Amino acid sequence: MNLSTANKERLDSFWSYCLQHQYFNIGYPESADFDYSSLYRFFNFSLNNCGDWRELSNYALNSFEFEKDVMQYFAELFKISFQESWGYVTNGGTEGNMFGCYLARELFPNSTLYYSKETHYSVAKIAKLLRMKSCLVDTLDNGEINTDDLIQKILFNKDKQPIIFANIGTTMSGAVDNIANIQLQLKQIHIDRPNYYLHADAALSGMILPFVNNPQPFTFADGIDSISVSGHKMIGSPIPCGVVVAKCKNVDLISVDVDYISARDQTISGSRNAHSVLMMWSAIHSYSPLEWRQRIEHCLNMAQYAVNKFQAAGIRAWRNPNSITVVFPSPSEKVSRHYHLAVSGPLAHLITMPHHKTTQKIDELIQAIIIDQQELLEHSAYS
């Protein structure tokens, strides 16, 4: 690259900033302990995975053979036979959620999309883009969907083919919607297969639940029709990416022939990132299932450590089962900004990712919050 000295200096300064902040994104669920250096050489090529990895595309520089392996891995992880599944490596959890909603809308064009108030903000955008009718459902105190309210709203809309967007780990509190209860209650109101669609947004927890002893139901074996997971969250990647898995028979409904690439296509975008496919492939081959279990167990232990430490200081912190998201009362804006915390109304959270090898950063943050709480109390006592 032909950069001026000033521009080189700008990049150098940004490099220093990144090094400084690399491991301190504690408010957001991004794993930072990845090493994809063996893939750097592929940045010399304009790789592109446009279209379906099952096809022989005319665009030769693709990483389709690796994408196939990735999809085989996730089909097994999410309990669907590879032959019955189809999915692809996306630009992130949002694209996977959009793909799931798109499939559902093609199956049930006049139906309503039901999602809880704790659902990620991008889902309202998806409903708008796809011009889907949508209905907001109440949540329980822990953040999971209130199934009674969901059923009442489905009955009220007299919706015989509801599309349910289930959170498998909400953004703010890691709450998992009760898939088993939803399906049981649908049956009780005489809505049974194949007359509903269940999409699972498993952005973070999709790479947690397969590796714990008592996972909440969330897979195809539990009745899900499609699942989206983020690649840059628990797996870890320098580029946002994700994986979506759906049922092949539903995907075939939206598949079209594209003569320009001489292949079939059913993905959301045209050009697709082939480098992130290589990253996902490397990541899944870098850890055995036992090693993933150990990574997840470490994160869960760290989350419980944080809860205990908060509680010992009299601060009401909590977490949902199998969640690495620790929820606590919002600190002052000064502390939230300093530690880059995600805050939603009265609540904030920290997320214990695998790169938190020791408790040092967690201790530092909790100590700052304890002092902050004391200052807030003193301030309210004087005013």
Just list the catalytic residues: 323
Residues 6-25 as x/- pattern, contact with ligand PLP by CB under 6 A: --------------------
- Position among 51, 217, 242, 354 found at the interface with ligand PLP (CB under 6 A): 242
- Asked if 203 touches ligand PLP (CB under 6 A), the answer is yes
Q: What are phi and psi of 29, to 5 degrees?
A: -90, 65
* Identified binder of ligand PLP from the candidate list 26, 47, 120, 355, rule CB under 6 A: 120
Q: How far is the CB of 344 from ligand PLP (least distance, A)?
A: 11
Give whichever of 134 and 170 is closer to ligand PLP, judged by the CB atom: 170
The token pair that represents 45 in the structure block: 């090529």
**Exposure letters 302-335 (e unless 16+ CB within 10 A, then b):** bbebbbebbeeeebebebbebbbbbbbebbeeeb
The residue among 205 and 373 lying less far from ligand PLP, judged by its C-beta, is 205
Q: Is 93 in the site for ligand PLP (CB under 6 A)?
A: yes
Q: Which is nearer to ligand PLP, 229 or 300 (CB)?
A: 229
Taking each helix axis from N to C terminus, what angle separates 93-107 and 122-129, rounded to the nearest 10 degrees? Answer: 40
Asked whether position 116 contacts ligand PLP by CB under 6 A, the answer is no
> Counting contacts by CB under 6 A, is residue 122 touching ligand PLP?
yes
Site string for ligand PLP, 156-195 (x = CB under 6 A): -----------x-xxx------------------------
- Give the distance from CA 59 to its chain's centroid: 30
94 binding ligand PLP? (CB under 6 A): yes
Q: What is the DSSP letter of 197?
A: E
Q: What is the DSSP letter of 111?
A: P
Element (H, E) at 279: helix 275-286
Helix-helix angle 289-312:360-382, to 10 degrees:
30
* Residue 133 identity (one-letter amino acid): K
Name the token pair of 118.
């704790």
Half-sphere exposure of 376 (CA within 13 A, CB side): 14
Q: Is residue 230 near ligand PLP by the rule CB under 6 A?
A: yes
CB 34 within 8 A of CB 280: no
- Nearest-angstrom CA–CA distance, 343 and 331: 9
Number of H helices, E strands in the chain: 11, 12
Q: In angstroms, what is the minimal distance from the CB of 230 to ligand PLP?
A: 4
Residue in the shown chain whose Cβ atom is closest to ligand PLP: 93
Using the Cα atoms of residue 72, residue 77, residue 82 and residue 84 in order, give the sign of their dihedral: negative
223 contacts ligand PLP (rule: CB under 6 A)? no
Q: Would you say 162 or 169 has its CB closer to ligand PLP?
A: 169
**Among residues 87, 92, 236, 331, which is the contact residue for ligand PLP, using CB under 6 A?**
92
Q: Which stretches of the chain bind ligand PLP, using CB under 6 A?
A: 92-94, 120, 122, 167, 169-171, 201, 203-204, 230, 240, 242
